[in-house]
């Protein structure tokens, strides 16, 4: 796994990366129930320094839009809200995989298609 520079995500400049962060959340929620702190550590592993003030609203928003479903749970003695992916979330993840593959292809193309004719 390539490590990248960890940067704070809350600045406006980095709004660009919110979509990628949401996709990371869907990937992990499709494999196991997740909770905020574990997801924050995982995102840091991917190079995103995202605080609770940014991540929790993002998780709540994803639940409101039907991609995740949360239930109260525990991690050892700690109460944790656990998030699981929904069928709509799985569908969105499948589509995101296609779109990321397409973007990846274009990012690495030596001669991407010209679009302006200039």
The nearest distance, CB 1 to Zn ion, in angstroms, is 9
Nearest distance, CB of residue 39 and Zn ion, angstroms: 9
Hey, which residues between 54 and 113 contact Zn ion (CB under 5 A)? none
The total number of residues written for the chain in this structure: 118
Q: Which stretch, 10-18, 37-45, 60-68, 77-85, contacts Zn ion (CB under 5 A)?
A: 37-45
Contacts of residue 27, defined as CB under 8 A and 6 or more positions apart, other chains included, come to: 93
Q: Indicate the residue among 67 and 116 with the shorter CB distance to Zn ion.
A: 67
Burial class (CB in 10 A: 0-12, 13-18, 19+), 55: buried
Is the Cβ of residue 19 or residue 112 nearer to Zn ion in the bound state? 19
Distance of CA 111 to the CA centre of its chain: 29
> CA 72 → CA 34, 35, 38, 69, 81, distances in Å?
11, 10, 15, 11, 5
Q: Which of 42/63 has CB closer to Zn ion?
A: 42
Contact window for Zn ion (CB under 5 A) among 38-46, 65-73, 80-88, 89-97: 38-46
Residues near Zn ion, by CB under 5 A: 42
């Amino acid at each position: 796994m390539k490590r990248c520079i960890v940067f704070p995500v809350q600045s406006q400049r980095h709004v660009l990366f919110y979509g990628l962060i949401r996709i990371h959340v869907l990937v992990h929620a499709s494999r196991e129930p997740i909770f905020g702190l574990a997801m924050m550590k995982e995102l840091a592993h991917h190079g995103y320094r995202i605080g609770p003030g940014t991540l929790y609203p993002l998780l709540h928003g994803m639940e409101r839009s039907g991609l995740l479903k949360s239930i109260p749970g525990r991690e050892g003695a700690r109460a944790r809200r656990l998030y699981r992916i929904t069928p709509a979330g799985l569908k969105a993840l499948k589509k995101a995989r296609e779109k990321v593959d397409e973007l990846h292809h274009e990012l690495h193309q030596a001669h991407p298609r010209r679009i302006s004719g200039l």
